[in-house]
Amino acid sequence: MGMFVFLPLVLPLTALPVARLAELHLHPRVATRLLSALAAVLAVCSTLCLGLLMVVGTAQLPGNPLPDAWSDPEVREAVPYDEIAGKAAIAALAAVAVSCGYAAWRHRRVRRRAQEALAGLPGGELAVLADEAPYAYALPGPGPSRTGAGDGDGTGAAAGGSGRIVVSTGMLACLDDRERDALIAHERAHLAGRHHRFLLTVRLAARANPLLRPLRTAVAYTSERWADEDAARVTGERTVVARAIGKAALVSRGTPAPTLAGFAAPSPGPVPRRVAALLGPAPSAVHWPSVRTAVGLAVWAAAAGTVGSALSSANAMVTLFLVLQAATPF
């Protein structure tokens, strides 16, 4: 295996330029799906790499439950700096397990509490909370499911998706009737696209490997842009959607958890970019950019890096299995 066993740990360094180019040049729907898949694959590969390092590096430690033959020199030679890497991998894997476990637990707890808060309200897709604090977000889970004509691939704002749209009276008071329609179309797009799954995927991936944090930030932005474009298509008024987002951003306090998609967060960075994008023409719905363009090269590079990471992990796993099998007496 040699030094290639460490490749999955450092390949996520490519996340920053790839995320930036995808934000700027890809359709938000394509960018969200591509970056989420990229984050998931790289996170799994880096975690598998840590597991391999731990197995080889700790087999020689006293009191370990592994077979004695796994600490033979032939096995240890398969991983450079096996003892140091093995001990470090134990701490890293423990940190990954605790961090990912906490993120998943918090996500479920927030969703459960939000659903409990709606228990006494009338049924329906829209749940209005009597609260002066302005906020709006899409709450996935049990709830009405809307079906209708989408954009041809099941990604339209009315293409389906269960859950409820939660909005406060404080938020509704800040918007006029047309802007409220834009808000509802935006949140409906979040439910139809199941954007909470992408947000949770990249958040867990970033917990597994901190080098993937640029992908988490990028997907948080592209999922909002995806909903913006669906809302603009449904309402037919890009300017109204942009105006509603700008108003909400000035007063909104955000969502209860980063894994729940909202209408407008108070962070100053992405909102002006979203408004500027809505004031321009709709993005081209190209599913895969040409390799002749800069963004096409970036996308293909990201795909090549993902495949390389997966192949490196698979090669390390198969090689280690064969080495351990040869060293284990039967």
pLDDT value for 145: 47
How confident is the model over 240-294, as pLDDT tens digits?
Answer: 999 999 888 888 777 777 777 877 665 556 888 889 989 988 887 666 667 777 7
Mean pLDDT score of the chain: 79
The two three-digit tokens of residue 102, written as one number: 């906490």
Helix (H, G, I), strand (E, B) or coil at 154: coil
Q: What is the pLDDT of residue 238?
A: 93
Specify the number of domains making up the chain.
1
Determine the Cα–Cα distance for residues 262 and 133; give it in Å rounded to an integer: 14
Q: Which residue has the higher pLDDT, 60 or 29?
A: 29
Element (DSSP H or E) covering residue 144:
strand 136-145
Beta strands in 156-215 (DSSP E): 162-168
In three-state form (DSSP H/G/I as H, E/B as E, the rest C), the secondary structure along 137-196 is EEEEEEEEECCCCCCCCCCCCCCCCEEEEEEEHHHHHCCCHHHHHHHHHHHHHHHHHCHH
Domain that holds residue 228: 2-327
| Residues contacting residue 58 through CB under 8 Å, at least 6 positions apart | 64, 66, 86, 87, 89, 90
Is residue 155 scored above 50 in pLDDT? Answer: no
Residues in the chain: 330
- Listed in order, strand segments (DSSP E) in 74-135 are 126-129
